[in-house]
Amino acid sequence: MLCQENTVHYCSLTFVVGGVLYLLRQISTHMPYGRYVDTKSPGMMVPAKAGWFIQELPSFLVPVLLFLMTESLPGIGRHLLLWTFGLHYFQRTFVYSPLTKGRPSPLYIVVSAVSFCSVNGFLQGHYMLHCSQYHSEWHRDTRLITGLLMFFTGMAINIHSDYILRNLRKPGEVSYKIPRGGMFELVSGANFFGEIVEWCGYAVASWSFPAFSFALFTICSIGPRAYHHHRYYLERFKDYPKSRKAVIPFLL
């Protein structure tokens, strides 16, 4: 399959612009997810487990189909794609989704997420399989090594933080509690921090515009969620640790 350079460039640029606009929108309003979902509002709701599975699946499935059904360039690009991008979405689709205890999501949110994940799955998969060109010594490059360390560190933080959140409440409990342990001792949005570190690491390791644009979109998308969570905790719990930041340890 030939590299579609214009498609890659304009899709990446769209992620950059879209991410900034999404950030500006979230500054002034809550998006309907998690605790901010009004389950009594009109419109179809999708159960949490099904919603997460459906919306995360394209990010895993599209690159895999591209890998299996198209000719790709030899080299490290395909391995980066499979063992970083693919690994993350395998975990989110087949491990996180069945375990989640979140609230239902509005159907339009799930549809929007499916659309985004399908486009991003194609963008990252197509670029790494059909466009990327790395020199023969890239496996020793500082950017690759640093990026992979960031990616797997972020993934570990993300998975561990999700585990803490899932086990905050005992069966039958509905009230929110203060998360403790791991990176939650430093930030309110430890799971978001982990995912941001992941995709920044992927961007550094691949050193590509599509990966950087996705990392930026991720920051703009889930960074404000961490801020809203942080403000919610501070308002709800008088004993909430004042030393915690929202999403970046010691800074923000």
Q: pLDDT tens digits for 4-47? A: 999 999 999 999 999 999 998 888 776 666 666 665 666 788 89
Reply yes or no on whether the pLDDT at 71 is more than 90.
Answer: no
More confident of the two residues 1 and 14: 14
The per-residue b/e assignment along 4-40, b for 16 or more CB within 10 angstroms, e otherwise, is: beeebeebbeebbebbeebbeebeeeeebbeeebeee
Give the CB-side neighbour count of residue 74, counting CA atoms within 13 A: 1
List beta partners, residue 245.
187
First to last CA, the chain: 43
Q: What is the mean pLDDT of the chain?
A: 88
pTM of the model: 0.90
- Helix (H), strand (E) at residue 45: strand 45-46
Answer for the pair 208, 219: CB distance below 8 angstroms, yes or no: no
DSSP, res 183: G
- The average pLDDT across 113-131 equals 94
221: left (phi over 0), alpha (psi -120 to 50) or beta: alpha
Q: How far apart are CA 79 and CA 123, in angstroms?
A: 16
More confident of the two residues 78 and 203: 203
